[in-house]
Amino acid sequence: MTVRPLHDRILIKRIDEKETVKGGIIIPDSAKEKPQEAEVIAVGKGKKTEDGKVIPIDVKVGDRILFGKYSGTEIKVDDHEYLIIREDEVLGVLESAKSAAGGKR
């Protein structure tokens, strides 16, 4: 099954942080904070203005983004957990140093 977000919504999948052990203590999953970094899985067509024009979404499928801690709505599709958020809940797009510098380094 696939999900197509409507309007200015974005379907994302959290990127799990690698488990770290500090001082020999393993932190249980229930005590860990959920990551605020995700990969964009699908995007809507964009937000409609009052005059009917569609403003396209700035992010695209495959982008890695940062989003707010309490953003979105969690859903489960085919045993995979996703989050649907609005475009204005995206805090930033993560870019590699190479692409941010225009390919020159």
pLDDT tops 70 at residue 90: yes
35 confidence band (pLDDT: 50, 70, 90)? low
The pair of three-digit structure tokens given for residue 84, joined into one six-digit string: 């649907």
Lowest mean pLDDT among 40-44, 49-53, 79-83, 94-98: 94-98
Which pLDDT score is estimated for 36? Answer: 84
Domains and CATH numbers, the chain: 9-17+33-94 (2.30.33.40)
- Stretch 2-26: mean pLDDT: 76
- Stretch 45-57: mean pLDDT: 91
Which pLDDT score is estimated for 39? Answer: 93
Choose from 23-27, 29-33, 40-44 the range with maximum mean pLDDT: 40-44
Residues 11-21 pLDDT 10s: 999 887 655 55
Which pLDDT score is estimated for 102? Answer: 60
